[in-house]
Amino acid sequence: MKFKLIKSLDVAGLSVFEPVVRLLWGEEPKVQIKKIGLYIVIPLLVFISFLLVWDFMGPRHKTKSGEVPTPKVVLDAYKKIVLFHDQEYAKLDDYNREGEDRVAHLTEVESRLRIVRDVLGQIRIALEDAENQFQEKLAKYLKPYQQVVAEKQKDYQARKAEVEGKLITWGKQLDVNDKEGKKDYIKAVALAKREFEKNEKHLKVLRTELADKKINESPELVTLRLQQTKLEQEEQFLVKRISYLSRANRSLKIEAAETILGDQLANLSNAYGDEGVYGLTLNILNSQERIEKIKKSSYAKPPTFFDQIWTSIKCVFTGFLIATFIAIPLGILCGLSSVFMASMMPLISLFKPVSPIVWLPIVFIIVGGFITNPEEAFISPAFLSTAITVALCSLWPTLVNTALGVASVENDHLNVARMLRLNLWDRLTKIIIPSSLPLIFAGLRISLGVGWMVLIAGELLSSSPGLGKFVWDMFNNGSSETFAQMFVVVFFVGIIGFLLDRLMVIMQKLVSFDEAVSTL
């Protein structure tokens, strides 16, 4: 049992937990505890201190788009993303509900809506009071400062008027030949000008200070406002749910259409000797068609965060598979034949360094040319273009590693094959590929990592509905949440990237004959 666990931990690339298992079985506790301390406790401590530093530094770095969010704010943003997800799926379910289930939900939602509206009414009244109080308090607080600014302004204006008046009179009195006097006059005017400018500047500083002066809103007011926003959003959500449970519900729409169809059928069965029969029949066919369409319709749900993650994962694997199917055969050929390798070299070196941002528009145009009717295409062109871009950028590590793996198959093995007179196919499948598998998988692992990084950039540009689009949309929102939402994405991208890497490590371990070293 113990060794099985250790083995599977090792395969999963989670050998850091190995000491825990050994400790549980009481094997050399001292050594194990030391190892746990080194490989688990210390990293954990570092992570916690990272969170603490972040929590401390975040609010102290102010940008014009708001503060850097603390871990708590990020968590709240995540909760909101989850809420959005849940609400959209609730609407989806409501649209598809029928029969008693629908009625039951309808009553439930309606009673909830009543409560929400009640509370909201109270909050609005309380909020108005609190707001008025706050404004009064603010006005009182600001008054002395405003007075200071007003007084200063008055002082400066008076001073300016006085000085200017004097200077003008002096200027008038200046004699034509009074060179000395004119020199003094210039000096005086320059000094006056400098003083005016200084005063203006001072006033401006005072005004800016005044604009920045504020008292914090009372916590009561802040909570009331938050509650109002939350409840108003819930109200909207509930109203929408009611419409999907009643007016806009699919089963009800079908029912209504079927009633019409029933009437029309009754009419037809009674009709005779009339030119209208043709029209009636057409109407019936139309009604039938309409019902079919309603039956097939589904709630048009915007993709939620988790839908987008799923799209991204599908996309990265599509791209990865394309890359694999291109890179492995090419790599094998390169490894087998030095002529082929030499002929491929210019192409590989030319295309390898090209950035995904360059590939994407090119791929987009090409794919667009093939898919002329995206409505009926089984795959969205945006999705496909992103996947191909991922493939183009991620196939190189696999290709190079495969070539290397194939080229470095031990000569002894090949000699054995020659002796057994194996044909090319057998040689490939029995000797060359199996012995180069560890290297191929090492390449695949790097490819998947590269693909995942390229993917986000690709989606951002192609607006394929994945994580990249989420990032771009949230950035475009420019709301106070934007910052925190980006951080949520950072963590998700990191975690998913990590899991993908682990997946490849497991595969690599499974195909390795020897104890190939895998780095964390």
Partner 1 sequence: MIHHFLLPTRYPRALYWMLLFTLMASLSSCGGEGTGSDDSLDSLLEKAEKTAPISKEEKSGDRQSVSPEKVVQKISSTVLERNELKFGFIKLTDCAPIVIAKEKGFFDEVGLQVDVEAQPNWKTLLDRVISGELDGAHMLSGQPIAATIGFGTKAHIITAYTMDQNGNGITVSNAIWEQMQENDSSLKLPQPKHPISANTLRPIVEERKASGQLLKMGMVFPVSTHNYELRYWLAASGIHPGFYTNTDKVGETDAEVLLSVTPPPMMPTVLEAGNIQGYCVGEPWNQQAVAKGIGVPVTTNYDVWKNNPEKVFGVTKKWADENPITHIAVIKALIKAGKWLDSTNSEGDLVNREEACRILAQPNYVGADYDVIKNSMTGFFYFQKSDKRKMPEFNIFFKDHATYPWYSDGIWFLTQMRRWGQITESKPDAWYHETIKKVYRPDIYRLAAAELIQEGELEESEIPPVTTDGYKPATNEFIDGMTYDGRYPVKYLNSMKIGNKDLEASS
Binding site for partner 1 (CB under 8 A): 64-65, 84, 211, 229, 232-233, 236, 240, 243, 247-248, 253, 267, 270-277, 279-280, 282-283, 286, 289-290, 293-294, 297-302, 368, 371-375, 380-382, 434, 460-461, 463, 465, 469, 472-481, 485, 507, 510-511
Q: CB neighbours (10 Å) of residue 241?
A: 23
List CB contacts of 174: < 8 A, sequence separation 6 or more: 181, 182, 185
Minimum Å distance from CB 510 to partner 1? 5
Minimum Å distance from CB 296 to partner 1? 8
Choose between 419 and 517: whose C-beta lies nearer to partner 1.
Answer: 517
What residue type is 144 in one-letter code?
Answer: P
Choose between 272 and 425: whose C-beta lies nearer to partner 1.
Answer: 272
Minimum Å distance from CB 472 to partner 1? 6
Q: Which two tokens stand for residue 275?
A: 């030119």
Which residues in 162-237 belong to E strands, given as ranges? Answer: none
Measured in whole angstroms, the distance separating CA 91 from the mean position of its chain's CA atoms is: 23
Choose between 22 and 469: whose C-beta lies nearer to partner 1.
Answer: 469
Q: Pick the closest to residue 93 from 111, 107, 105 (CA basis).
A: 105
Q: For the chain, how long is the longest CA-to-CA vector?
A: 122
Minimum Å distance from CB 143 to partner 1? 16
Helix (H) or strand (E) holding 63: strand 62-63
Minimum Å distance from CB 158 to partner 1? 18
DSSP 292-325: HHHHH----PPP-HHHHHHHHHHHHHHHHHHHHH
Helix (H) or strand (E) holding 67: strand 66-67
Choose between 219 and 369: whose C-beta lies nearer to partner 1.
Answer: 369
d(CA 271, CA 279): 12
d(CA 379, CA 373): 11
Q: CB neighbours (10 Å) of residue 407?
A: 18
Q: Please tell me whether residue 62 adopts helix, strand or coil conformation.
A: strand
Minimum Å distance from CB 259 to partner 1? 15
Choose between 44 and 256: whose C-beta lies nearer to partner 1.
Answer: 256
Minimum Å distance from CB 458 to partner 1? 12
d(CA 351, CA 348): 5
Pairing type for strands 66-67 and 62-63 reads antiparallel
Minimum Å distance from CB 485 to partner 1? 8
Choose between 41 and 277: whose C-beta lies nearer to partner 1.
Answer: 277
Choose between 87 and 318: whose C-beta lies nearer to partner 1.
Answer: 87
Choose between 181 and 434: whose C-beta lies nearer to partner 1.
Answer: 434
